[in-house]
Chains A and B, each alone.
Chain A
Amino acid sequence: MIIDAHAHIDEVPALDWIDPPEKLMPLLDIAGIDMAVVSTYANMPGFNDGAMEYVYDACLRYPRLIPYIRLDPWYGDRALDVMRTAVEQYGFKGVKLHPVHYTLHPYGEQTVSILKLAHEYDIPVLFHCSDEEMSLPLQIALAVKQSPETIVICAHMGGFFHNEDVVRLMCENENVFVDTSEFPYPAYIKKAVNLVGAERVLFGTDLPTTNVFVEMEKVRLAGLTDSEEQAVFGGNIARILKLKEAAR
């Protein structure tokens, strides 16, 4: 079973990013992807108060989609309240944080509170982790230190330039995972697998803006064994999210 650990649905005219679930689903189909983790581009709380319901409704219509709630830690307790509602009432399975969008250091108290609550709920936190300020692996590392038991997924494996830092972070904390979306280096997938094992590398696409074939072939070009590839393509995220059917 192939599970995409990082995709998006949302409609944000201000950015000209119009990506309803109906745009994502055919891309999953054409590539043979069985399920996909989805979050919005909008943070909650924020300019779109309906973001949580948008994802919830999409996941009801398309049960292959797995909802993450995207939060803005600036809002402190209000963000935590949104998270509680998302998990307890709507069954969201994880948190997405994109510190570049809300411009806040990942290791500040507001963000760490979210990490700690995620640990209480036993759900992962997916960080945008790349080359931009507020999303650097070493900044995220300082958050991980304050909540070391939280499962943290560093998206994009550190982007174009911060791959060594993110691999080091994985070596230092066994609860740190990476996803393979967008970044362009198959060799770093192999390197991470060699250093920490295939169990902590997750296939991700960042669909629908990316090319799904490129994203899938990136993993295949890494030169993993069949069992390693299977873990990366779905087994690992199924284990994290406790998707019993998929994990078999």
Chain B
Amino acid sequence: MIIDGHVHMGVGLYGRSVTAETAISRMDASGIEACIAFPAKPRTYSLAEANSNVAAAQLKYAGRIFGLARVDPWQGDAAIVELERACDELSLKGIALDPSEENFQINSRLVDPIIQFALEMDLPVVVEGGYPHVSHPLQIADLAARFPDVTFVMTHGGELDLSGFTRRDAHTAMCLCPNLVMGTSGLCSHERLVSTVDQLGAERVMFESHLPVMDERLELLRVTKAAISDAARELALGGNARRVFL
């Protein structure tokens, strides 16, 4: 079973949007059976409304779409209230944080109450990784080390840097924090994917498309064409997402 660990759903503020229907249609075309979806930053700026929309998609496409609650740590207590609503009442499966679009540093103490909530509720946390200044992999590791019992998914493998210099930092972050799983979208280094599987275990790698920003057909190939064992591929393509989110 192939599970896409990273889809932004809804009408996005930044010009890219994918509806639940479009996502399902694209998933069908690529043989992706389920996806983990969280709101694109909505044009209304209301993450609560967007979380409700994702929860509705989860309900409508039960077993195909699993939603996460996106919150803004700058909202303080209100973010916790929203998490209680989204995760308790709407049954969303985890928390999504986007330090770039919500403009905070992921290792800021501002984030701690949200992660404390995740710890108490046993929820995974997806962090948009690799954005300069706000979600460098060592910043993510700094947070993950403070909460070793929370599972963090670091998208893009933590590196959005084609010079390759962030690669060592991202790998170091993964070594330092066993509770970090890395997503594969945009991960141009096949060698890093393979070495992560070989050195840290296939449980640490998760297929993700970053739809609609990236192209799920291309992103899928990063894992299906990777030089890893079939068992490792199965985990990366879906087993790990199932374990972390479902």
Contacts and interface: CB of A to CB of B under 8 A. Distances in A.
A44 B56 CA distance: 58
B24 interface: no
A2 to B, nearest CB: 17
Interface in B155-176: 160-165, 168
Nearest to A16: B168
A135 B222 CA distance: 26
Interface of B: 132, 160-165, 168, 185-186, 188-192, 214-215, 217-219, 221-222, 225-226
B58 to A, nearest CB: 27
16 contacts: A98-B163, A130-B161, A131-B160, A131-B162, A132-B161, A185-B215, A206-B188, A209-B164, A210-B189, A210-B190, A211-B190, A213-B221, A214-B190, A214-B225, A221-B215, A221-B217
A100 B225 contact: no
Contacts of A101: 163
Contact of B214 (A15, A135, A184, A209): A184
Of listed B163, B186, B191, B218, residue having the most chain A CB within 10 A: B163
A127 to B, nearest CB: 12
Given A184-B219, A221-B217, A131 B188 contact: no
Contact of A187 (B161, B189, B215): B215
B218 A183 contact: no
A73 interface: no
A100 B165 contact: yes
Of listed A98, A132, A211, A213, residue having the most chain B CB within 10 A: A211
Of listed A101, A159, A160, A208, residue having the most chain B CB within 10 A: A160
Interface string A65-109: 000000000000000000000000000000000101100000000
B191 A184 contact: no
Given A208-B191, A209-B190, A210-B189, A218 B164 contact: no
Contacts, number: 75
Contacts of B190: 209-211, 214
Contacts of A213: 221, 225
A14 to B, nearest CB: 11
Given A184-B186, A214-B222, A209 B162 contact: no
A38 to B, nearest CB: 16
Contacts of A130: 161-163
Interface of A: 15-17, 98, 100-101, 128, 130-132, 135, 156, 159-161, 182-187, 206, 208-211, 213-214, 217-218, 221
B214 A185 contact: yes
A128 B225 CA distance: 26
B218 A221 contact: yes
A21 B51 CA distance: 51
A211 B214 contact: no
Contacts of A15: 164, 168
Contacts of B186: 160, 184
A132 B218 CA distance: 24
Nearest to A41: B164
B218 A217 contact: yes
A182 B162 contact: yes
A53 to B, nearest CB: 24
Given A100-B163, A131-B160, A184-B188, 9 more contacts: A128-B162, A159-B160, A160-B160, A182-B162, A186-B218, A209-B192, A210-B188, A210-B189, A211-B222
A117 to B, nearest CB: 25
Of listed B168, B190, B214, residue having the most chain A CB within 10 A: B190
A184 B163 contact: no
Nearest to A27: B190
Given A128-B163, A211-B226, A184 B218 contact: yes
